[in-house]
């Protein structure tokens, strides 16, 4: 009797413990519906084809200003002119966000029409203003290694996008436009509409994204594998790619044969990694349209499948070239540059107060800049 009572007592204890554990850790039921948090769908507006769509662009960031702006670094003058520091980029994003801007994928703003393209209306949050961001020359050229910029974009062991600089502590860091924008969107998800990020305009003469994928690279096969991993991760996050030519030359000096060769190299070495794109950014903002867009170099770009062409300018407009003509409709979009020159000249004043963005680590103090 004593033994039987002891077993019964133990059994009751077991049931009590089991009930408690079940309450704390519910059993997995394969067909049980998942708990979901109701997400508010924002009211939308239609952005008509006549409405402005701002497009801002910059280059890779000056990840290490202390190196870039050292007295013995001549390359720092180039970086000061053409690039932003991480501090400035973060400040700009905050000002844009507070002013009601949100990112839209550039591919949602136009569509192909035959051999050309046309702008289309698109839906966007009613309380936001559409903004396109793009980034030129994301190559991290080998000749500039160790002069103040990152060496490459990488995917970390936990699948996050980061920057890498070999001769820096720490080597893996977030002082580049990709991880900075990713972090900002994580904190402010309403800054990105439908997972939009930015457009990365690539050349190919020294590889892409910091990987030596060009045809004369001694480690080309391995580098292409590494680059493709980064490309795929960027795409999954919402980034897209555009062509910035292969060699980043002055197109006005190109012959037609040179242009055709440049396009072929880009498609062979870069498009094979990032996929097809219809977006082209003229190097140095130089157009080669010709009368009635008949210049054979421009026609070569159109024949290669490019449909939206981006330049450099301060006004937010889409245009169809040539003006006042119904025969040819080359779709063009201007882009406002974000760099040291534009900060000091006030070209971006409609977006943010440049003096509040300006990094005091720059070699030229804002107060003593020649132009504002």
Q: Are 314 and 347 in contact (CB under 8 A)?
A: yes
333-367: pLDDT as tens digits:
999 999 999 999 988 889 999 999 999 999 998 87
pLDDT beyond 70 at 12: no
Which pLDDT score, from 0 to 100, does residue 293 have? Answer: 83
Indicate the SS3 state at residue 243: strand
Lowest mean pLDDT across 12-26, 62-76, 154-168, 195-209: 12-26
What is the spatial distance between Cα 23 and Cα 19, in angstroms, rounded to a whole number? 6
The residue ranking higher by pLDDT, 6 or 306, is 306
What are the sequence ranges of the domains in the chain?
A: 55-360
> CA dihedral defined by 209, 132, 108, 324, rounded to 10 degrees?
-110
Q: What is the DSSP letter of 224?
A: H
Q: Residue 323: its pLDDT value, please?
A: 67
Question: What's the rounded Cα separation, in Å, for the pair 289 and 322?
Answer: 8
Query: Over the stretch 103-130, which tens digit does the pLDDT of each residue have?
Result: 999 999 999 999 999 999 999 999 999 9
Of 346, 348, 352, which Cα lies nearest the Cα of 366? 346
User: Per-residue DSSP letters for 64-94?
Assistant: -HHHHTSTT-THHHHHHHH---HHHHHHHHH
Distance CA 125, CA 138 (A): 30
Confidence of residue 289 (pLDDT cuts 50, 70, 90): confident
pLDDT of 368 strictly over 80: no
Rounded to whole angstroms, how far apart are CA atoms 185 and 198? 12
Computed over every residue of the chain, the mean pLDDT equals 88
Neighbouring residues of 233: CB distance < 8 A, sequence distance ≥ 6: 155, 159, 161
Q: Are 208 and 227 in contact (CB under 8 A)?
A: yes
Query: pTM to 2 decimals?
Result: 0.87
pLDDT tens, position by position, 132-182: 999 999 999 999 999 999 999 999 999 999 999 999 999 999 999 999 999
Q: How high is the pLDDT of residue 34?
A: 33
CATH of 55-360, one of 3.30.70.890, 3.20.20.370, 3.30.200.190, 3.30.70.980: 3.20.20.370
């Amino acid at each position: 009797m004593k033994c039987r009572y002891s077993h019964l007592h133990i059994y009751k204890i077991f049931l009590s413990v089991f009930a408690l554990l079940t309450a704390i850790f519910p059993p997995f039921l394969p067909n049980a519906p998942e708990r979901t948090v109701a997400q508010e769908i924002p009211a939308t507006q239609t952005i008509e084809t006549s409405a402005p769509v701002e497009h801002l662009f910059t280059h890779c960031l000056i990840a290490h200003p202390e190196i870039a702006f050292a007295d013995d670094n001549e390359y720092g003058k180039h970086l000061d002119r053409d690039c932003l520091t991480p501090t400035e980029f973060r400040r700009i994003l905050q000002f844009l966000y507070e002013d009601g801007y949100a990112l839209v994928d550039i591919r949602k703003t136009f569509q192909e029409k035959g051999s050309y393209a046309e702008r289309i209306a698109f839906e966007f949050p009613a309380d936001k203003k559409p903004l396109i961001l793009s980034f030129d020359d994301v190559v991290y050229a080998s000749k500039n290694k160790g002069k103040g910029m990152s060496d490459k974009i990488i995917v970390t062991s936990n699948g996050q996008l980061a920057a890498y600089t070999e001769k820096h502590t720490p080597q893996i860091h977030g002082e580049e436009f990709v991880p900075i924008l990713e972090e900002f969107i994580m904190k402010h998800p309403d800054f990105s509409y439908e997972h939009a990020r930015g457009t990365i305009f690539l050349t190919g003469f020294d590889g892409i994204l910091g990987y030596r994928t060009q045809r004369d690279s001694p480690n080309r096969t391995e580098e292409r594998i590494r680059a493709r991993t980064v490309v795929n991760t960027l795409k999954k996050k919402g980034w897209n790619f555009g062509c910035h030519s292969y060699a980043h030359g002055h197109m006005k000096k190109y012959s037609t044969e040179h242009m055709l060769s440049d396009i072929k190299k880009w498609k062979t070495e870069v498009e094979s990694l990032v996929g097809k794109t219809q977006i082209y950014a003229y190097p140095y903002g130089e157009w080669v349209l010709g009368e009635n867009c008949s210049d054979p170099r421009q026609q070569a770009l159109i024949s290669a499948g490019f449909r939206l062409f981006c330049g450099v300018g301060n006004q937010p407009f889409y245009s169809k070239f040539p003006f006042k003509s119904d025969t040819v409709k080359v779709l063009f979009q201007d882009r406002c540059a974000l760099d040291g020159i534009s900060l000091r000249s006030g070209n971006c004043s409609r977006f943010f107060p440049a003096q509040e963005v300006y990094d005091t680590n720059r070699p030229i103090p804002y107060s003593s800049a020649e132009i504002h």
